[in-house]
Amino acid sequence: MIVVARPGIDTETIRYDSGMQKVAGGKRGYHQYCGLASALDILGERWTLLVVRELLMGPRRYSELLADLPGIGTNLLAERLKFLVEHGVVRQIDVRGTGSRLSYELTGTGQRLRPAVLGLAQWGMDFVGELAAEDTVRPHWGFLAVEAMIDPARVPPFDESYEFHVDSEVFHIAVTGDTARAIRGPAASPTMIATTDAATFVQIGSGRVTPFIAVIQGKLKLEGDAEAVVRCCDLLGLETTATAPVPPR
């Protein structure tokens, strides 16, 4: 095992063994003729999927990515972005058309990661523990959490919308026909409005706290039609009882 320490970025441990070797650009490769192994050759390095998560929200400037990925270090972020650009997952764009203040966005290839990333986010909810002092939480992560939690088999038979205010972020679920979509920004005429903070939102999504308990604790405010609240909870797989289930470990 070789430990590589670089100023200003994470300490990285690089293992050299019969199953993993260094590939071009200093990355590690599995050298297995398999789709999953090939995917991990691109996405398996620490922080890479979190960079993708941020870009699923839309184009982001370098400074925005650095602010919302505390602990990554500027050198490591630059390295991860360069690698993703080289492999056609991310591209640089000139949002303002001025040639400066370039942003990064996912390519079509990168956008195809959305179902996989959302699936991992939903799966990971089972392992969310108590919020620690060193943990970071961002309100816009709530948008991806809601998108991941939507159960297509539980779409209600009504055209309606559910609006969420998570700290400074506003987004909603639009139910139309037999589909439900998570959309950034406010709804035109929401049948339910939920207001909470980002940490409580994660706790509700992970099943550690039910919406009912969060309301009692004063951490969640629900406005609108009571039956719409129940339909929204059912769509997201949330308990509407007072007792939260014990999350699996």
List pLDDT tens digits, range 211-229: 999 999 999 999 999 999 9
Whether 3 shows a pLDDT value over 50: the answer reads no
CB 68 within 8 A of CB 168: no
- pLDDT confidence of residue 97: 72
**pLDDT for 119:** 95
Q: Which two tokens mark 175?
A: 């139910």
Whole-angstrom distance, CA of residue 5 vs CA of residue 194? 45
Reading the block at residue 227, the tokens are 């039956």
115-139 pLDDT, tens digit each: 999 999 999 999 998 989 899 999 9
- Tens digit of pLDDT for each residue in 13-48? 344 344 545 554 556 788 999 999 999 999 999 999
pLDDT for res 27: 65
Average pLDDT over residues 42-71: 96
Nearest to 204 by CA among 191, 215, 193: 215
Structure token digits, residue 46: 């620490």
Return d(Cα 91, Cα 151) in angstroms, integer: 31
pLDDT at 240: 78
* For residue 91, pLDDT beyond 90: yes
The amino acid that residue 84 corresponds to is L
Report which DSSP code applies to 130.
P
d(CA 211, CA 183): 21
The share of the chain scoring above pLDDT 90, in percent, equals 76
Q: Hey, where are the domains in the chain?
A: 2-112, 113-249
Would you tell me which CATH number, out of the four given (3.30.1360.150, 3.40.50.300, 3.30.1050.10, 3.40.50.10470), belongs to the domain 113-249? 3.30.1050.10
DSSP states of 196-214: E-HHHHHHHHTTSS-HHHH
Q: What is the CATH number of domain 2-112?
A: 1.10.10.10
C-alpha dist (Å) from residue 34 to 37, 40, 42, 116? 5, 10, 13, 17
* The pLDDT of residue 238 is above 80: yes
Alpha carbon distance 126, 41 (integer Å):
26
pLDDT at 2 over 50: no
